[in-house]
Structure 1
Amino acid sequence: MSRHQAGSTVVRVLAVTSMYPVKRDPGLGAFVATQIDSLRNLGVEIDVVFLDVKQSKWELLGGITEVRRKVHSERYDLAHVHFGYNGIPVSLQREIPFVVSFCGTDLASPKFRAISRWVSRRAAACIVKSEEMQQYLDIPTHVVPNGIDLDHFQPMSKLRARQRLGLPEKGRLALFVSNPDRIEKQYELADLALATVRQRGQGIDPLVVFNKPHRELPTYMNAADLLLLTSSREGSPNAIKEAMACNLPIVSTDVGDVRQVIGTTDNCVLADASPEDIARGIEQVLDTGRRTNGRESIVSLSAEVIGRRVLDIYTSVLEDRS
C-alpha cells in the first residue's frame, strides 16, 4: 500500500539513475544529486538505485531484479528515472508509475533515441531539459531544466579563488568543465579557438576541469576569466547556469537551452561552432574585462524552485492514478 494519500505531503520515490556521484567520479550526475537533495528538503523521501553502466552495461539487466526487489519490499508512490535507458528496469514492473527525465544525449543521439522513445511511451510523465528536446518525442512533455544550488554557487574574488586552488594569480584562464575525450564536447574546437586568440596577441590558457567533487566547482568558476562551452549537443548544460550564478562570462555554442538561459545577460556570447567565431567571442569578453550580471537572471532556476516544479509533476501523476 502506498503511503501517499489525499492531503498528505509525504511522497516516497525510488530514483533510478546511472548518473550519481561516486568515489571514482565525484562529479558524475551532480545535477541529479542536486535535484534529489532539493526534493528531500521539500519533504520527499527518496531512495536511489545506482546503475553503474560505466563499469558494465549488464547493470541494466541487474537493475531489473533490483528495481523489482525494491518495489516489492518498500512502499513507494512512484519511481523517477534519470536518463532514458535507465527506464528499462522500471518499465518492466507495473506496481508503481514512473516519471522519466531525459537529459540530452539520450534523445539527441541516434544510438539511444529508440530506447528512450520506448521508455517515454510507458512513463506516466516525461521531463525534458529544454524545448529543443521536445522535438524527439511524440508525446506531451514537461520542460524542466536542471536547478542550481545558489547557496553553493556564489561570486567570490578571482584572486582568492586562485590562491585557494594554487593557480597563478596573473594570466587569463578559459574554464572548460567537461572531459575533453567526450566527442560531443568538441574540446578540439575550444583548443583551436584559444590558439587563434593567442596568435592575435591576447594571452589565455585553457583550464580543464572534470572528475572533481562538485563542491569545488564554484572556486574554479571564480578563478576563471570565462567559461568556454563548445558542445555539439546539450540538453540544459548545468555549467552555463553555474557560471551565471558566479557572474562568470560565457562563450558558448548555441546548443540546448543556452540561448534561453543567458538571454540578454551582459558579457555572455553565443558563437557559431567554428574556431574563428568562438575566438571572436573570447576576444569580446576579454576586451570588456568585467564579470556579468548573470546571477540575477537565474533566480527562477534555483534548486528549490526546480524541486517544487518536479514535486508538482509527482503530485499530478499520483492524482491521476488515484
Structure 2
Amino acid sequence: MHVLTLTTNADAPFMTEQMRALERRGVTFSTLSVAGDVDGGTSRSPLEYLKFFPSVLKESGNGYDLIHAHYGLTGPMAVAQWRKPVVLSLWGSDVYGPVEPVSRACAPLCDELVVMSEEMRTYLGRDCAVIPDGIDLEKFQPAPQAEAQEAVGWDSDAHHVLFPYTPEREVKNYPRARRVVNAVNGLFDDPVHLHTVYDVPHDTVPDYMNAADALLLTSHSEGSPNSVKEALACNLPIVAVDVGDVRERLDGVSNSLVADSDEALIGGLREVLESGERSDGRNAAREISVEQTADRLLEVYERVA
C-alpha cells in the first residue's frame, strides 16, 4: 500500500514514529508539507496554504492508494483532488481552536476521520475512528533519576516539575503552570523548579521525563497529549487538568491525578513531590504503544483503500 501524507509539520515525532511502524507492516509513504516556518508565536499565512493546493493536486495522481491528511488545515487540499480516498487525522487544536470550522467543513467529505480521543468524537458529533498517537515504549522507558538529572544538568537537591512546551503557546496555559509551581515552591525547604522544555531533539526527551519529579499539564484544551503518554511510559507522576483523554489515561495510575482548580493542582503537586515516588504509568502506556495504534490505523487504511 502506498500513501501520500499531507502535513503541516513533517518533523512531528508522533507522526513520523507512526509512519515508521506502518512501514514495518508494508506501507510506503511520500510526504508533502506546507511550506513556511512556524513556532509558538507565529503561523503560516493563508497564501502559503493556497500555494500548497497545486502541489497536492499534481502529486495525488502518482499511483497512491489513499491520501492521509494530518491536521485540519490540510483537509481542503486532500478533498480538492478526486482521484483517491482520504483519511483525515485531527490532532486537537484543529478541533478546539480557530481551525475548527475548516476541520468541520472537510470531515464529511473524507472517507475516514481519525481523532485522538472519545471527547473529540463527542464534540464533533460524527462517526470517527478514535486512535490516539502511539508511544515508542523502547525509546520512552524508566531510567535512574540521578543519571537522567546529570544528563540534563539539573540540581539533585531540588524538586523538578516538567512543562514540556514553549510558554508562547497560549493553549498550553503556561501562566497557570507558573502560578501553581510558585505556590508549591513556598511549601518546601528545597526549591521547586519549573522547566519549560521544548525545541530539543526528541531522542533526549526521555532524559527530561526521567529527570523530573512530576509533569504538570495545565492546557486549555488537548486531544490526546503525547507528553502525558510519554510520561506514563517513563513512570513519571502526572498532575493535569481534565482535558482530552487525560482522565482516561490516568485512570488507576498511582501517584498521579486529574484536577481542575488551582487549589487542587497545588495540593496534588505537593503530594506528588512529598511522596518522592514514581508512578506505575508504564502499565497503562502499553495500551497506546505505537505498535498497537499502527495496527488500528492500518485497519482504517485497508477499509478506505
TM bin (shorter chain)? over 0.9
Task: Give the total of aligned pairs.
Answer: 298
Instruction: Quote the residue 2:46 is aligned against.
Output: 57
Instruction: Quote the residue 1:36 is aligned against.
Output: 19
Q: Distance in 1 between matches of 2:85 and 2:275?
A: 51
Please say if 1:172 is aligned against 2:159. Answer: yes
1:289-304 to structure 2, matched below 5 A, reads 289-304=276-291
Q: Distance in 2 between matches of 1:228 and 1:17?
A: 28
Q: Deviations over 1:270-314 (max 9, x none)?
A: 111x33221111011012111011101121211011001000001
Counterpart residue identity of residue 33, structure 2 = F
Q: Is the 8 A contact 1:226 1:251 kept in 2?
A: yes
Counterpart residue identity of residue 175, structure 2 = E
Q: Distance in 2 between matches of 1:104 and 1:52?
A: 21
Post-superposition shift, 1:38? 1.3
Instruction: Quote the residue 2:116 is aligned against.
Output: 129
Instruction: Quote the residue 1:237 is aligned against.
Output: 225
Q: Which runs of 4+ in 1 moved over 4 A?
A: none
Post-superposition shift, 1:19? 2.1
Instruction: Quote the residue 2:274 is aligned against.
Output: 287
Q: Deviations over 1:218-254 (max 9, x none)?
A: 0000010010110010000000110010000000001
1:139 to 119, 126, 141: 126
Instruction: Quote the residue 2:56 is aligned against.
Output: 67
Q: Deviations over 1:59-99 (max 9, x none)?
A: 32121111112112x21000101111111111110000110
Q: Distance in 2 between matches of 1:100 and 1:305?
A: 19
Between 193-202 and 289-298, the greater mean CA deviation after superposition = 193-202
Q: Distance in 2 between matches of 1:300 and 1:279?
A: 29
Q: Is the 8 A contact 2:237 2:279 kept in 1?
A: yes
Q: Distance in 1 between matches of 2:223 and 2:35?
A: 22
Q: Distance in 2 between matches of 1:177 and 1:57?
A: 29
2:2 to 8, 12, 32: 12
What's the secondary structure of 1:200's corresponding residue? Answer: coil
Post-superposition shift, 1:205? 0.6
1:208-247 to structure 2, matched below 5 A, reads 208-247=196-235
Q: Deviations over 1:183-224 (max 9, x none)?
A: 111111011111111222353110110111111100000010
Unmatched tracts of structure 1, length 5 or more: 1-10, 22-28
Q: Distance in 2 between matches of 1:56 and 1:38?
A: 33
Post-superposition shift, 1:167? 2.1
User: What is the TM-score normalised by the length of structure 2?
Assistant: 0.95
Instruction: Quote the residue 2:41 is aligned against.
Output: none
Q: Deviations over 1:129-166 (max 9, x none)?
A: 00111133243111111100001001101111111122
Counterpart residue identity of residue 308, structure 1 = D
Instruction: Quote the residue 2:265 is aligned against.
Output: 278
1:78-117 to structure 2, matched below 5 A, reads 78-109=66-97, 111-117=98-104
Identity over aligned pairs, percent: 36
Instruction: Quote the residue 2:170 is aligned against.
Output: 183
Counterpart residue identity of residue 107, structure 1 = V
Instruction: Quote the residue 1:5 is aligned against.
Output: none
Counterpart residue identity of residue 67, structure 1 = V
Q: Deviations over 1:104-134 (max 9, x none)?
A: 111112x211110111011000011001111
Q: Distance in 1 between matches of 2:238 and 2:125?
A: 33
User: What is the TM-score normalised by the length of structure 1?
Assistant: 0.90
Q: Distance in 1 between matches of 2:188 and 2:287?
A: 39
Q: Distance in 1 between matches of 2:177 and 2:221?
A: 15
Counterpart residue identity of residue 4, structure 2 = L
Instruction: Quote the residue 2:107 is aligned against.
Output: 120
What's the secondary structure of 2:278's corresponding residue? Answer: coil
Q: Distance in 2 between matches of 1:117 and 1:297?
A: 31
Q: Aligned in 2, Cα 1:39/1:218: closer, same or farther, shift over 3 Å?
A: same
Q: Is the 8 A contact 1:85 1:119 kept in 2?
A: no
Please say if 1:262 is aligned against 2:245. Answer: no
Q: Distance in 1 between matches of 2:142 and 2:187?
A: 30
Q: Aligned in 2, Cα 1:194/1:138: closer, same or farther, shift over 3 Å?
A: closer
Q: Is the 8 A contact 1:60 1:88 kept in 2?
A: no
Q: Distance in 2 between matches of 1:154 and 1:96?
A: 39
